[in-house]
Structure 1
Amino acid sequence: MPLEIGKLACLRTLEFFNVGHENGRRIEELGYLKNLKGEVAICKLEHVNGKEEAARACLTEKPNIHKLKLEWSSSRKGYNFNDEQVLEGLEPHPNIKSLKIQRFCGDNLPSWIMNRSISEVIRLDKLIELQLIDCARCLEIPTLGHLPLLKFLELSGLRNVKSIGPWFYYPHNYGVNDQSRRRTNNQLAFPTLERFTLDFMTNLEEWIEMSTNDSNQVVNAFPRLEYLRIYYCSNISRFPSHGFPCLKTLEINNVDRGGVLLDRISNNNSSSLTSLRLENVSDVTCLPKRLLYDNQRIRSMSIWDCPNLTHIELSAHNLKSLEAIYIYYCKKLKSIRYLIQGEEESGSFNSLQTLTVVNCNEVSDILSPMVLEPCTSLRTLQLGDCHNLVSFPVDFRSLPSGLRSLGISECPKLRSLPKGSISCLSSLTELCIGPFSEEVGLASFNEILQGIQQLHSLVNLELYGRSLSLYQITFSILLLSNILKYPILGWKLCLSGLGTWHLWTI
């Protein structure tokens, strides 16, 4: 950053400004740049001494700055900071559209962003995006529901906030004298918000819906919200009772009572949901039936490390758009049940492209021919580390010919492999098989490999066995010049012209 940049009085573009202690690098240099426009990031704000000095940046006089980032350094030490006074003096022009505040270490945000009184609601009314990141000492979040253009809201690392209350939606008594609002008996909060993220708010205990003193008044909130993410808010146990009528993507990660939110959304019209991701949500034992039975738009389900999930029921008739199922590390999951209703109502998972079940030790019931045969779109089937799986109840002929990736691995109790020749899977590019129980012998491996020479698309082949002799396995696979990767059984064995084989157990 050059010294005395403020002398460039006609400067219009300045993507970032690092505040310094010495003359020529202080924040007052920005005050001379009246024509700045577009995006500006002001960093190292710990070098500003207070509100008066911060105000010398004259941000309120810069109507053409539309995106503003205010950032303190991560390397600061100590506890006595003047961040509240500094941020009070950095009020932007009302034309601001995007605002990011990062590593602010005050207890209270400034009045120009809190919007707690009626006189302040005109501020930031052009704001489209707001990010409050790692403001670890903040005790309360601003009032934002009245902002008419706000589309993107991210609250992350506000570790001292315990409650998101009614003030989050509207300032106190906002709209009491608004005749149009009284005539319609309707209050609308966050009218344009599309994405809302709550991350790493470790002390957050509740998110309360908007309230009203008028029993005849209807409260509507988040009518356009499409994306909701709540990550690492482990203590939150109370959620709003209202629904999110346009919600498409829901992600809940490390929220102990996240199942409560999932139930609320399921009971308040979840038919718009297209993507669901749950990770480490301990109170979920099964997925809400209304979520899975009343939703024909859901396309992707991803469930990770839900320790008390015991079973999943999927209705083919109601999940016609389902394309991908990912289930990982659900230690108590015992079964995935597929409900097929009728033979003539397109009651099949014919949109399903990916089915992955990995590290679910208790699962014993995953597939049936009735489910897989109509899955003409299936491209990836992966079953791994399912230690209680004893059988694979379908043969290769039941799998769709368009399957590209097949993995059945680390299932130590599996007693039998799919029957039939693998040659019917002509589109296969990846194949991973084994190891299984000792009851699965060489004959089963050889049966799988019959016709493998016809798999001209195969480029990745992995075979794992227990106490099996490599030389008893058919060597028809050696004739496949298109295979690029040959991990087989456990040790390294170099064969002329074939590169390196990885052989794990002989």
Structure 2
Amino acid sequence: MPPQMCNLKQLQKLTDFVLSVHTGPSIKELGDLRYLGGELRISWLENVDSVEDVLKANLREKANLNELSLTWRRDSTGSRRGREVLDALQPHTNLKKLSIYRYAGSFFPKWVGDASFSNIVLLNLIGCKYCLLLPPVGQLPSLRELCVQDFDGLETVGAEFCGSNSSVIPFQSLEILSFHEMSKWSEWLFIGGDKEVAYFPRLKQLCLFCCSNLTGSLPDCDSIETLRLNWCAKLEFPGSCRYANLRTLEITACDTLTSLPLDYFPMLKELVLRYCQKLESLTFSEGSGTVLHYLSLLRVFARISGRCLNTCTGFFHLLLFWKCLECPNVESLPEAGLPRDLDTLVIFKCRKLIVERRNWYLHGLNALRSLCIAHSDAVLDSFPEVFLPMSLTSLKLLNLSNLRSLNGSAFQHVSSLVTLSVSHCKKLQFLPDEVLCTSLCTLIIKECPFLEHRYRRWEGVPI
């Protein structure tokens, strides 16, 4: 930082203020910059000389500040000293966005989460490893986005999170809530029994990532549209909750999940399942009458069983996009086959499924525009064995080590193919004339020695 910052008394914008150990300005020099506005990031707060210097910075009088970021470079500051410094950094209540990184205190000072900060719309609390309780941020009336990450000491989230004012609906404006990397967090308590839905009346997106010890269920919020549960092995889902407006559901490595009742999510558009090795079925409750009219994308990843996929008959025909990625145990499609209106099909590292490719009946997919087959050592003497649909515009063949030839006759009705990408298919020796005579605009060849030699002069090939 330049010396004698305090002399710039009319300064209105200072995005970064970095505190060094022996040289550079003291934090107290901010006190003379009364017109600072916009965004301010104060870094390396562990280098503060004294709490008195922080008080002289006089942040609470800087009414033009909209965004404030407070960062400790390391967590070596003692709990009491850290809290005193953060307490002295209290900003003006006009603040709209606040981020606190690597604060080392056990508890937050009273101003963090105080209802007087009625303009705060975004709050990030990240890397506060020694904190034992969350601040009462539920009483911030305008808060729309909240991220809590890397709180290693936190075990329970309860009433303190919502605030003590019983006359105010907690989190009345919150739309996005994220918890990341909370290794000891085991309980999320909703005080008031069945009234927890009132805590998050406008919540649209909830994300839990690496909360490996969290047990119990989630809040029952009809407003949620996007739900991501990643690496939360002990979480009970969906429990008794029904998510009437959920559009996107993403679940990764949930060991308690054995069956997923899809009629709990009647508006679902996108379903992503990863590493749910105990998941056996995707079900509809008997007599529910639910039809997933909106579901268009299903992505299944590693360790999803073939038996689970075969339970998809109730909705599989509705899909427009299907991506099956790293599912070595999936041997076949559901009995009804691929959806007739399918737009995009991706098969990645699914050897057994590729072996049964004759049962895909690609020629009947009159809406298919994009096809990608990737990462398989299955023997493909000639691919595909059947006609490709006329609608196909993009074809990608990637890392097919035993692909020996393309069946030219399969391309003879394809009049709209625009892009062909062939990568790491080292046994493929040539492209049939039927491929090169289509409306092809882009031909991409990578790590295919025979093709690179043969088509080096073919116009448009990036070799």
TM-score scaled by length of structure 1? 0.78
Counterpart of 1:277, as a letter, is E
Letter in 1 for 2:215: S
> Per-residue displacement from partner, 1:143-188 (whole Å, max 9, x unpaired)?
12222111111101111111101221122xx34xxxxx5xxxxx62
1:257 aligns with 234
In structure 2, the CA distance between the partners of 1:490 and 1:281, relative to structure 1 (3 Å rule), is: farther
> For each residue in 1:87-135, what CA deviation from the matched residue of structure 2 results, as whole angstroms up to 9, or x when unmatched?
111111222221111111122221222x6xxxxx543233221111111
Match among 175, 178, 202 for residue 194 of structure 1: 175
Structure 1: which 5+ runs fail to align?
Answer: 116-120, 176-180, 182-186, 342-346
2:243 to 264, 270, 291: 270
Matched position secondary structure for 2:169:
strand
Q: 2:392 aligns with which of 420, 427, 436?
A: 427
**Per-residue deviation at 1:34?**
1.5
- Looking at structure 2, the residues matched to 16 and 433 of structure 1 have their Cα atoms a distance apart, in angstroms, of 46
Write the mapping of 1:165-204 to structure 2, written as runs, cut at 5 A: 165-171=158-164, 174-175=165-166, 181=167, 188-204=169-185
- Aligned partner of 1:243 in structure 2 is 220
1:312 to partner: Cα distance? 3.3
In the TM superposition, 1:89-168 aligns within 5 A as: 89-113=88-112, 121-168=114-161
Task: Specify the alignment match of 2:444 in structure 1.
Answer: 485
State the match for 1:118 in structure 2. none
- Partners in 2 of 1:78 and 1:55 — Cα distance? 18
Give secondary structure in 2 for the equivalent of 1:158. coil
Map of 2:272 onto structure 1: 302
Q: CA deviation at 1:475?
A: 5.3
The SS at the match of 1:485 is strand
Q: Does 1:494 align with 2:453?
A: yes
Change (3 A) 1:354 1:91: same
> In the alignment, does 2:282 pair up with 1:312?
yes
Aligned to 1:205: 186
How big is the shift at 1:12?
1.8
Give the deviation of 1:283 after TM superposition. 2.1
8 Å CA contact 2:337, 2:360 repeated in 1: no
Alpha-carbon distance between aligned partners in 2 of 1:432 and 1:302, rounded to the nearest angstrom: 23
Helix, strand or coil: the match of 1:220? helix
Number of the residue aligned with 1:379: 343
Partners of 1:93 and 1:339 lie apart in 2 by 57
Residue 446 (str. 1) matches residue 407 (str. 2) = yes
Query: For structure 1, which segment, 413-422 or 29-38, has the greater mean C-alpha deviation from structure 2 after superposition?
Result: 413-422
Cα distance change of structure 1 residues 145 and 401 upon mapping to structure 2, 3 Å threshold: closer
Amino acid at match of 1:268: C
Cα offsets for 1:411-447 (capped at 9, x unmatched) = 739999765322x33432214289599xx997xx537
Q: Is contact 2:384–2:410 with CA below 8 Å preserved after alignment?
A: no
- Find the counterpart in structure 1 of residue 421 from structure 2: 460
Shift of residue 25 of structure 1? 0.3
Equivalences for 1:309-348 in 2 at 5 Å?
309-313=279-283, 318-336=291-309, 337-340=311-314, 348=317
C-alpha deviation, 1:228, in angstroms: 0.4
Contact 2:443 2:460 in 1 (8 A): no
8 A contact 1:493–1:500 mirrored in 2 = no
Equivalent residues of 2:139, 2:170 under 8 A apart:
yes
Alignment match, 1:344: none
1:388 paired to 2:363? no
Which stretch of structure 1 is more off in the superposition, 104-113 or 454-463?
454-463
- Aligned residue in 1 for 2:7: 7
Question: What code does the residue aligned with 1:280 have?
Answer: A
Structure 2 stretches of 5 or more lacking a match?
Answer: none
Q: Which of 298, 323, 333 in structure 2 is aligned with 1:366?
A: 333
Between stretches 426-435 and 40-49, larger displacement belongs to: 426-435
Partners in 2 of 1:274 and 1:153 — Cα distance? 21
Partner secondary structure for residue 30 of structure 2? helix
**2:145–2:177 Cα contact (<8 Å) kept:** yes
Q: CA deviation at 1:501?
A: 9.9
CA distance in 1, matches of 2:374, 2:284: 22
Tell whether the 8 Å contact from 1:169 to 1:210 is kept in structure 2 after alignment. Answer: no
SS of alignment partner, residue 228 of structure 1: strand
- With over 3 angstroms needed to count, the CA separation of the structure-2 counterparts of 1:486 and 1:64, relative to structure 1, is closer
Quote the Cα distance in structure 1 between the aligned partners of 2:307 and 2:409: 27
Counterpart of 1:103, as a letter, is: R
Q: Which amino acid aligns with 2:312?
A: Y
Q: Which residue of 2 aligns with 1:178?
A: none
Structure 2 counterparts to residues 54-93 of structure 1, below 5 A: 54-74=54-74, 82-93=81-92
CA contact (8 A) 1:68 1:98 kept: yes
Pair 1:489–1:9, CA change in 2 (3 A)? closer
Percent of paired sites with the same residue: 22
The equivalences for 1:27-38 within 5 A come to 27-38=27-38
| 2:228 partner SS | strand
For the structure 1 residues 122 and 295, does the alpha-carbon distance in structure 2 shift closer, same or farther, using more than 3 Å as the test? closer
Match of 2:26 in 1: 26
Q: For 2:390 and 2:60, how far apart are their aligned partners in 1?
A: 66
- How far, CA to CA, are the matches of 2:210 and 2:297 in structure 1? 25
> What is the DSSP-based 3-state SS (H/G/I as helix, E as strand, rest coil) of the residue aligned with 1:40?
strand
Contact conserved, 2:408 with 2:434, CA < 8 A, in 1?
no
Compare 19-28 and 301-310 and name the one that shifted more: 19-28
For residues 216 and 11 of structure 2, the distance between their equivalents in structure 1, rounded to whole angstroms, comes to: 50
Q: How far apart are 1:493 and its partner, in Å?
A: 5.1
Q: CA deviation at 1:209?
A: 0.6
Q: Which residue does the alignment assign to 1:53?
A: 53
Alpha-carbon distance in structure 1 between the residues aligned to 2:282 and 2:401: 25
Change (3 A) 1:348 1:5: same
- Contact conserved, 1:4 with 1:25, CA < 8 A, in 2? yes
Q: What displacement does 1:18 show?
A: 1.4
The alignment covers a number of residue pairs equal to 454
Residues 425 and 433 of structure 1: CA distance in aligned 2, closer, same or farther (over 3 Å)? farther
Shift of 1:379: 2.4
**SS of equivalent to 2:138:** coil
Amino acid paired to 1:147: L
Separation in structure 2 between the aligned mates of residue 21 and residue 62 of structure 1, nearest angstrom:
25
How many Å separate the matches in 1 of 2:16 and 2:428?
A: 65
Asked if the contact 1:208/1:239 (under 8 Å) is kept, the reply is no
| 1:394 Cα deviation from its structure 2 partner | 3.4
